[in-house]
Amino acid sequence: MELRTLGKTGFKVSEISMGAWTLGGQWGDIDEAGATATVRAALDAGVNFFDVADGYGPLVAEQRLGAALKCHRQDVFISTKLGNFLRRHGHHARYTHPLHIINSVHAALYRLQTDYIDVLLCHQAGPEDSDLFVESFEQLIEQGLIRAYGVSTMNPGVIEKFDHMSNCGVVQIDYSIVRRGPEEGALKTCAERNIGTQIRGGLGQGVLTGSYSRDSRFTDAVRSSWNEGERHELFLREIATAEKVKALVTPERSMVDIVLAFVLAHPVVSCAIPGMKSPDQARANVAAAAVKLTDDEMATIREASAGLL
């Protein structure tokens, strides 16, 4: 596993890292033993960076990740997010004072069984008051409770607001074969400001794994809304793109290998954080780090995804 520098933080992180949303059960059932086994498989495969959030579960993913990593804390980086707690349950918490944020971090530290967080991100793509988060995050750095901060967003303007003191260290970006807009937006802004990037959605929330077809129906809490309306129409366009990319699959190279290799080929990408729900998924995702695409293959992918910029 190759390590990459996470922007101005200087952290050396595994280019394939772990998105731990899956540990919260919103992508389908997973018990604590399964969660622990998945994290351990990722560790064994060379993963040293783990991303989670208080809203995953909610709370459950942080608890499970903390339990699985407590004996490995000095060897890994943990990134967590706040700002969307209970949003999916219709009770979105409001943050109107630094103590709301600081208190949330103390709770996250308890769940993660650690006394510091390596990367803390605002989980609101466009917060009403970005200065509130920046002020709170700066206090948390002074207190030694976090080492770096940033935001999960696709909006260059929001990134600039979080970096107005030149201290925004990391941005989480939704980027994939079917989400290429950040190439001229968020990724470009991060390059200009030496901000590290952690890429979510590299597998298109499963669409790009090759496991789904036009007739697929979703029952998990995250994708159940994909079965109708505008989101279903977008899903069909994404599937059409995935079908074109499948032409690059070989017996030695899976669809997952190809789509994650595409993400890692971008020079501004620090790490990809695909979700992992089982030890086999963890090992399969990590294997993509060894795959390199040719210029012709990259051109084929860009042509296939041209309509989804």
* Residue at 243 is within a domain: no
Residue 55 located in a structural domain: yes
Q: Give a yes or no: residue 231 inside a domain.
A: no
- What mean pLDDT is predicted for residues 239-253? 93
Decide if pLDDT at 251 tops 70.
yes
Encoding tokens for residue 227?
Answer: 């079965």
- Total domains in the chain come to 1
Q: Evaluate if residue 87 carries a pLDDT over 80.
A: no
Query: What's the pLDDT band for 198 if we cut at 50, 70, 90?
Result: very high
Give the residue numbers spanning the domain of 37: 3-206+263-286
Would you say residue 57 lies in a domain? yes
For residue range 64-77, list pLDDT tens digits in order: 999 999 999 999 99
Nearest to 261 by CA among 304, 179, 188, 203: 203
List Cβ neighbours of 97 (8 Å cut-off, separation of 6 or more).
132
Does 252 reside within a domain?
no
Strands 196-200 and 271-272 turn out to be parallel
Token pair listed for 229? 């309306």
Burial class (CB in 10 A: 0-12, 13-18, 19+), 102: middle
Q: Is 291 a member of any domain?
A: no
The answer for 194, left when phi > 0, alpha when psi is -120 to 50, beta otherwise, is left
What is the C-alpha end-to-end distance of the chain, expressed in Å? 30
Q: How far is CA 34 from CA 226, 236, 258, 291, in A?
A: 27, 32, 27, 27
Asked if residue 47 is part of any domain, the answer here is yes
Residue 217 located in a structural domain = no
CATH number at residue 128: 3.20.20.100
Split at pLDDT 50, 70, 90, the class of 18 is: very high
